[in-house]
Structure 1
Amino acid sequence: MYSSIRQDWFSNVRGDLLAGLVVALALIPEAIAFSIIAGVDPKVGLYASFSIAVIIAFTGGRPGMISAATGAMALVMVLLVKQHGLQYLLAATVLTGVLQIVAGLLKLGALMRFVSRSVITGFVNALAILIFMAQLPELTDVSWVVYAMTAAGLAIIYGFPYITRAVPSPLVTIVVLTGVAMLLKLDIRTVGDMGQLPDSLPIFLLPDVPLTLETLRIILPYAATMAVVGLLESMMTASIVDELTDTPSNKNRECVGQGVANIATGFIGGMAGCAMIGQSVINVKSGGRGRLSTLVAGIGLLVLIVFLGPWVKQIPMAALVAVMIMVSIGTFSWDSIRNLRKHPPSSSLVMMATVVITVATHDLAKGVFVGVLLSGIFFAHKVGKVLRIDRSLDAEGRLRSYSVVGQVFFASSETFINSFDFREAVQKVRIDVSHAHFWDITAVGALDKVVLKFKREGAEVEVLGLDEASTTLMDRFAIHDKPGAVEKLMH
């Protein structure tokens, strides 16, 4: 227990402190932008980012991952805010947390094993593209000074590590460009231009909504959608951070942690949130590894906006744009482009479909859903083809033996049926399935059809070698050994 706490919290103190500060600075414009998307005051997103980051540092299952207000969640809540207002959003945020805790207790985090590598790669690439696209408004119809500052920021980000890695280069970029902008009094867009920063600490309050079934009817669809989107993005981000740091995470604990964070956030006037891949990558790339980096990001954000607001307002957006461009470049899996020819066509198609759908809809859930669906279809098709049925006839020509090897389920049932010769004039048929497995009722129906067709032709049929699971399935659903089954087939 003690060694685990030490590892999670104090194994990388200096790196976590500096990385957390970088993330805190990067969270400010993001939280304000997501608040605007959702149609709420900037402080709703800022308070949410503080609350979620601090709580998830203690309750989450992935050390070093950053959770806060996100664009994916903001898009879901737009209509709720527009039709019913902020208070219903806060109530939906609390309910979102409850649903996520239930998901964690039901161990739904284990479902991540059904998400293929191709889907994760597509998800990462789509996010990298979306992160880059989100910076374009800051680079459109602006003066040459903005381009110069952004270019200078990228030069510092990629050049400073050659001088020293003691301080994260994104932090150096933000400090240097802010200093230059203030010294030269440059007329460029700053964090302060994005919205009013709060000047007080958040307070506990109950959502001001009637506690009725009608309220539940209004918020439940939004809460359920936010719970699914939030957990999906969090689980995917956790997998990516697992790979970046070569360390494991507890997905079910992360589900519960996200739920606790959202419940608490709803009670201090914040919007629902989840893990953020952009900020998580910034954290890892800046040297953050432990829970301390997430805690520092949350506390640092609150300190910056409440106590250092006048200074934070001076940060040029060009500096943060440079940081986010670095994130998009670092996030994109460039190997996936080179591997398009090497990998199987089905894997490449899944990856590209995930990217296209996610970028086109700006909805991570839809992109991942399409990717998982295609992966399942390709897998079923591939496994369905791995079915072999060998035939042999005894010396007297009376006994035909079939040996089935492989998996029989909905995708292979047609192949299974077509492998038998029902018109052959034999007295007895023996079907050996000791090297096969029947997975579903479609497979049971296929065996029923084969046995009954042979019986209809007057042959005696013997099925051998059913494993325990297949036998249980047959006992419950098969009809070939029931009285009158042949007559039913004939009619």
Structure 2
Amino acid sequence: MIDLLIKRQSNFKNEFLSGLTVALALVPEAVAFAFVAGVDPLVGLWAAFIMGFVTSILGGRPGMISGATGAMAVVMTAFIILHGIEYMFAAVILCGIIQILCGVFKLGKLVRILPHPVTLGFVNGLAIVIGLAQFGQFKENYRLLYDKMTGNFQITGDWMSGGALLTTLCLIGGTMLIIHYLPRFTKAVPGTLVAIVAMTLLVNFSPIESVTVQDFVESQNEMAAEKTFKSKLFNEQKEDLKLSEIDAAGTALAAADVEVPEEESTRIAGAFQIPSIDWTPQSFMIILGLALTLSAVGLIESLMTLTLIDELTQTRGSSNRECIGQGAANIICGLFGGMGGCAMIGQSMINIRSGGRGRLSGICAASFLLCFIIFPPLWNCIGLIPVASLVGVMFIVVIATFEWTTLRLWNKIPGSDFLVIILVSAMTVIFDLAIAVVAGVAVSSLVFAWKKSTRLNVDIIDDGDTRTYVLKGSFFFGAVSSFKEFFDPINDPEHVVIEFQDCTVYDHSALEAINAVAQLYRQQGKQLTIMHLKEDCARLVRKADDVLELNVS
């Protein structure tokens, strides 16, 4: 499957059809992520269009698709409840500025030094997240519940059963079979597009009943409006309630049949408007925290996806240019009522699998999505697509994304590397991508430091009244304890030499350890000489000359 992705060549037909396929898959994803963030679906759809269009032109990775993503939507949820959507738009703008600065200062290249186990864990974890997200489509009869633990309203549903479940599974299976086997007969059109069209025709021209995109959008709109309205009512009621009465009141309100009025919004998604907030230092501090989190999550996910696409297509994108493209797209999103976003590994894989290699595929996907938004007849056609067929598409993406070779690596690579893969995968699923990658890098660094610290060795040579300690290996903070144990200031002869010709000193901790040993010998009235420090090591000593007391020869 991966070989197929690598060998597919780019041409106008592939780019055009791949863009159409991606646009079809973007619609339910954008709506779902808008629902997660607690905003109107149009806010998610406009974000998907703006992110996809701008990054396709300005980004550093042709063929990579950006849009509204779940990783960023989850971070926004609590912030929107506390401060409102206008502050969220302002945070998205600041997020974009931070991302542009990262590109200008060339911080994007840091992703190139991520350990390979971290990359494998990211890919596997994200594949699992994408797969788990699809199981939300196996629910029906959505309703509102009050969560006593968080004090907020949550939307839940019943798992499908009987005929509805069987129909959904059959549509998913049919979609996956078409995508998998069609390329064996023809590569004239993307198998993903053929599968979506086939399942749509089957559902709409047969007695088969299944949830369509239109059904999904309407249900999400209704539930989001009900949640927003009841949350507002509940917050007003809590002021007059005793602490012991809050949970009962919340449970009763969640089950109550309340008529939800249509809310008028001062913000029209897709229209230019400066966020309506108080532009004060206090407001800036409110949005700064969210902006930093969004920029970190967005860049990590985008740059990791860029690296993955590089490997699949055997080409190389520009990470710094991608930072600038992502930043520009987020700034425009905030100004035009979009929720912001980053690269989408699922849609990027669909695009690559369908033959999209250049910028045209992303531009076409964004253009088709815009047409779906602004032209009602096209939206009505999109609304006929069964959600189950899109779930099948995403399951194929999960299978292609997951690095199945890692399952055979447990006894073929160092145990620490395999642990990092498992750790990053698990933390991506449990927490989020940014935390997982940072944790993976931290663990990999600690393991590396531990291994290097155990490789500092010493040979002792006695020559009359002189004892020479010949150090070999790397000397840094992790090896300080081992270094101090090598020496015996009380029993050593009057003259001691530490030979650094085969040893490299890396940091201030190592210099302080050398200085501490020198002081011990000085207290014993003995002479300690440091020999043959490498030039970079000697430079460290010269810089710290005013705080060190060393006899360097």
1:262 is the counterpart of 2:330: yes
1:74 is the counterpart of 2:73: yes
1:444 is the counterpart of 2:511: yes
Q: What secondary structure sits across from 2:477 in the alignment?
A: coil
Q: What secondary structure sits across from 2:474 in the alignment?
A: strand
How far the C-alpha of 1:480 sits from its partner, in A, is: 4.9
1:171 is the counterpart of 2:193: yes
1:48 is the counterpart of 2:62: no
Superposed CA deviations along residues 331-360 of structure 1, whole A, max 9, x for unmatched, are 100000011110110000000011111212
Q: 2-side partners of 1:285 and 1:338: how far apart?
A: 25
Distance 1:162 1:400, change over 3 A: same
Tell me which residue corresponds to 1:335.
405
1:206 is the counterpart of 2:225: no
Tell me which residue corresponds to 1:136.
135
How far the C-alpha of 1:477 sits from its partner, in A, is: 3.1
Superposed CA deviations along residues 375-415 of structure 1, whole A, max 9, x for unmatched, are 11101111112222211111xx2111111122111101111
1:423 is the counterpart of 2:445: no
Tell me which residue corresponds to 2:224.
none
How far the C-alpha of 1:71 sits from its partner, in A, is: 0.2
Q: What secondary structure sits across from 1:157 in the alignment?
A: helix
Of 379, 389, 397, the residue aligned with 2:458 is 389
Q: 2-side partners of 1:480 and 1:360: how far apart?
A: 47
Tell me which residue corresponds to 1:311.
381
Tell me which residue corresponds to 2:365.
297
Q: 2-side partners of 1:447 and 1:368: how far apart?
A: 35
1:461 is the counterpart of 2:460: no
Q: 1-side partners of 2:106 and 2:273: how far apart?
A: 31
Tell me which residue corresponds to 1:242.
310
1:401 is the counterpart of 2:468: yes
Moved more, 295-304 or 252-261: 295-304
1:372 is the counterpart of 2:441: yes
Of 392, 406, 409, the residue aligned with 1:322 is 392
Runs of 5+ unmatched residues, structure 2: 1-8, 139-158, 222-267
Tell me which residue corresponds to 2:352.
284
Q: 2-side partners of 1:430 and 1:443: how far apart?
A: 17
Q: 2-side partners of 1:480 and 1:57: how far apart?
A: 55
Tell me which residue corresponds to 1:346.
416
1:109 is the counterpart of 2:179: no
Of 202, 211, 224, the residue aligned with 1:189 is 211
Tell me which residue corresponds to 1:226.
294
Q: What secondary structure sits across from 1:207 in the alignment?
A: coil
Superposed CA deviations along residues 247-286 of structure 1, whole A, max 9, x for unmatched, are 1111111111100010011111101100111111111111
How far the C-alpha of 1:214 sits from its partner, in A, is: 2.3
Q: 1-side partners of 2:19 and 2:490: how far apart?
A: 74
Tell me which residue corresponds to 1:273.
341
Q: 2-side partners of 1:169 and 1:31: how far apart?
A: 22
Q: 2-side partners of 1:253 and 1:383: how far apart?
A: 35
How far the C-alpha of 1:53 sits from its partner, in A, is: 0.5
Tell me which residue corresponds to 1:37.
36
**What is the Cα-based RMSD across aligned positions, in Å?**
1.9
Tell me which residue corresponds to 2:57.
58
Moved more, 207-216 or 162-171: 207-216
1:154 is the counterpart of 2:154: no
Provide the TM-score with structure 2 as the length reference.
0.82
Q: 2-side partners of 1:251 and 1:146: how far apart?
A: 40
Q: 1-side partners of 2:38 and 2:110: how far apart?
A: 33
Q: 1-side partners of 2:450 and 2:13: how far apart?
A: 51
Q: What secondary structure sits across from 2:459 in the alignment?
A: strand
Contact 1:452–1:480, Cα closer than 8 Å, also in 2 = no
How far the C-alpha of 1:472 sits from its partner, in A, is: 2.6
Moved more, 366-375 or 307-316: 366-375
Superposed CA deviations along residues 137-164 of structure 1, whole A, max 9, x for unmatched, are 2234151211111111111111111111
Contact 2:269–2:337, Cα closer than 8 Å, also in 1 = no
Superposed CA deviations along residues 30-68 of structure 1, whole A, max 9, x for unmatched, are 000000000000000000000111000111111111111
Q: What secondary structure sits across from 2:15 in the alignment?
A: helix
Equivalent residue letter for 2:160: D
Provide the TM-score with structure 1 as the length reference.
0.92
Q: What secondary structure sits across from 2:412 in the alignment?
A: coil
Contact 1:305–1:312, Cα closer than 8 Å, also in 2 = no
Q: What secondary structure sits across from 2:301 in the alignment?
A: helix
Tell me which residue corresponds to 1:432.
499
Contact 1:201–1:306, Cα closer than 8 Å, also in 2 = no
Tell me which residue corresponds to 2:98.
99
Q: 1-side partners of 2:10 and 2:174: how far apart?
A: 33
Contact 2:33–2:68, Cα closer than 8 Å, also in 1 = yes
How far the C-alpha of 1:418 sits from its partner, in A, is: 1.2
Contact 2:125–2:425, Cα closer than 8 Å, also in 1 = yes
How far the C-alpha of 1:454 sits from its partner, in A, is: 2.2
How far the C-alpha of 1:467 sits from its partner, in A, is: 2.1
- How many percent of aligned residue pairs carry the same amino acid? 41
Contact 1:119–1:350, Cα closer than 8 Å, also in 2 = yes
Q: What secondary structure sits across from 1:33 in the alignment?
A: helix
How far the C-alpha of 1:11 sits from its partner, in A, is: 5.4
Q: 2-side partners of 1:300 and 1:435: how far apart?
A: 63
Q: 2-side partners of 1:110 and 1:228: how far apart?
A: 14
Q: 2-side partners of 1:11 and 1:327: how far apart?
A: 20
Contact 1:93–1:262, Cα closer than 8 Å, also in 2 = yes
How far the C-alpha of 1:458 sits from its partner, in A, is: 2.7
